[in-house]
Amino acid sequence: MAAYLLKRLLLIIPTLFGIMLISFTIIQFAPGGPVERIIAQLQGRDSSIVSRIGGGGSDTLSSGSQAQLGQGSVDSNTSKYRGAQGLDPEFIKSLEKQFGFDKPAYERFFIMMKSYLTFDFGKSYFRDVSVLQLIKEKLPVSISLGLWMMLISYLISIPLGIRKAMKDGEPFDGWTSTVLVVAYAIPGFLFAVLLLILFAGSSFLQIFPSRGLTSDNWEQLSFFGRITDYFWHLTLPLIAMSLTAFTTMTFLTKNSFLDEIRKQYVTTARAKGLSENQVLYGHVFRNAMLLIIAGFPGAFIGAFFAGSLLIETIFSLDGIGLLSFESIEKRDYPVIFATLWIFSLVGLLLNIVADFVYTTVDPRIDFESREV
**What digits encode the pLDDT tens for the residues 1-34?**
677 778 888 888 999 999 999 988 888 777 677 7
pLDDT exceeds 50 at position 248: yes
Q: What CA–CA distance (Å, rounded) separates 356 from 360?
A: 6
Yes or no: say if 38 and 50 are a contact pair by the CB < 8 Å rule.
no
Beta-carbon contacts of residue 292 (< 8 Å; ≥ 6 apart): 158, 249, 252, 253, 256
Asked which of 13-22, 109-118, 173-182, 293-302 is least confident by mean pLDDT, the reply is 293-302
| Higher-scoring residue by pLDDT: 204, 135 | 135
Q: What CA–CA distance (Å, rounded) separates 355 from 198?
A: 44
Asked which of 300-304, 339-343, 354-358 is least confident by mean pLDDT, the reply is 300-304
- Number of neighbouring beta carbons within 10 Å of residue 32: 13
Mean pLDDT of the chain: 76
Three-state SS at 121: coil
| Single-letter residue type at 136 | K
Q: What CA–CA distance (Å, rounded) separates 327 from 42?
A: 20
Report residue 302's pLDDT band, with 50, 70 and 90 as the boundaries. low
User: Averaged over 278-286, what is the pLDDT?
Assistant: 80
pLDDT exceeds 60 at position 167: yes
Maximal C-alpha separation, the chain: 92
In which residue ranges of the chain is CATH 1.10.3720.10 found? 134-369
CATH superfamily of 134-369: MetI-like (1.10.3720.10)
Category of 190 on φ-ψ map: left (φ > 0), alpha (ψ -120 to 50) or beta = alpha
Q: What CA–CA distance (Å, rounded) separates 187 from 247?
A: 13
At 308 the pLDDT is 65
The total number of residues written for the chain in this structure: 372
Find the Cα–Cα–Cα–Cα dihedral 365, 369, 371, 372, rounded to 10°: 60
Find the Cα–Cα–Cα–Cα dihedral 324, 329, 332, 338, rounded to 10°: 20
φ/ψ of residue 130, rounded to 5? -70, 150
pLDDT exceeds 70 at position 51: no
At 52 the pLDDT is 42
At 292 the pLDDT is 74
At 74 the pLDDT is 40
Asked which of 35-49, 126-140, 209-223 is least confident by mean pLDDT, the reply is 35-49
Report residue 119's pLDDT band, with 50, 70 and 90 as the boundaries. confident
At 246 the pLDDT is 79
User: Averaged over 145-163, what is the pLDDT?
Assistant: 85
pLDDT exceeds 60 at position 56: no
Three-state SS at 52: coil
User: Averaged over 283-291, what is the pLDDT?
Assistant: 77
User: Averaged over 42-52, what is the pLDDT?
Assistant: 50
pLDDT exceeds 60 at position 372: no
At 17 the pLDDT is 92
pLDDT > 90: percent of the chain: 5
Three-state SS at 87: coil
